[in-house]
A and B are shown apart, each in its own frame.
Chain A
Amino acid sequence: MKTLSMVMIALGFFLFAVATLGFLRLPDFYSRMHATGKGDTLALLLFLLGLALYEWSCNFTWSGIILGLKLLAIALFWFIASPTATHALLRSAYEAGIKPWSKGKDFLIDKTNKG
């Protein structure tokens, strides 16, 4: 059981690392949002599930069960809240008028500006 929770926590950490890499390297606001919004949710879910499993395997007393349920409550809340926040932020960026990145169009705009 402890090994399973360790594997889940390590997998969550790996997903966080991948999301951070995408957040640093991708070219556009929308694609950065795509990297963080998805990697974030699954990584936090795996992480908190692993922590709750560790807690239940360590002490299965009354307080330990309540502690694990609190961890799962954070996971459930964030599983609903993170896509909502992503959606609201994307919508506000679209209304504020940020253009999505595209290779050919930017190239054309640069050429017309230069010439």
Chain B
Amino acid sequence: MEKFFLIIAIGMCILILFCLYRAVMGPTVFDRLIGSGFIGTKATLLIVLIGYVYGRVDMFVDLAIGYSILNFIGTIVIAKYFIKKGHKE
């Protein structure tokens, strides 16, 4: 079962690379923003999977909780910021 988790984690890393293309080359600011949010979602799962591979899930799941909350707060704050600032690109 650890092998299955490892395979899924490697596939997730490849998907993160594909998302990174859009997050870097995106035409507007908001494309980059949803790219970073999507990468954050995948990284939350990646942390849990790495915990299963290492055999220390009880530590890594707390990191995953913190990371998901930080991702949500960051998205909300940046969205608020861009309402005020407007979109120039």
Contacts and interface: CB of A to CB of B under 8 A. Distances in A.
A24 B82 CA distance: 23
A79 to B, nearest CB: 11
A69 to B, nearest CB: 10
Interface in B1-55: 1, 4, 8, 11-12, 15, 18-19, 21-22, 27-28, 30-31, 33-35, 37-38, 41-42, 44-45, 48, 52
Give the contact-size bracket for chain B: 35 or more
Contact of A70 (B22, B35, B61, B79): B61
Given A29-B28, A55-B57, A24 B21 contact: yes
Interface in B50-85: 52, 57-58, 61-62, 64-65, 68-69, 72, 75-76, 79-80, 82-83
B41 A93 contact: no
A9 B8 contact: yes
- Dominant SS among interface residues on chain B: helix
A110 interface: no
A32 B57 CA distance: 33
B85 to A, nearest CB: 8
A96 B44 CA distance: 29
Given A84-B76, A97-B86, A44 B45 contact: yes
B8 A88 contact: no
Contacts of B19: 20, 23
Contacts of B82: 92-93, 96
Given A44-B41, A89-B75, 15 more contacts: A13-B8, A20-B15, A40-B41, A70-B65, A74-B68, A77-B72, A78-B44, A85-B72, A88-B79, A89-B30, A92-B80, A93-B30, A93-B87, A96-B83, A98-B30
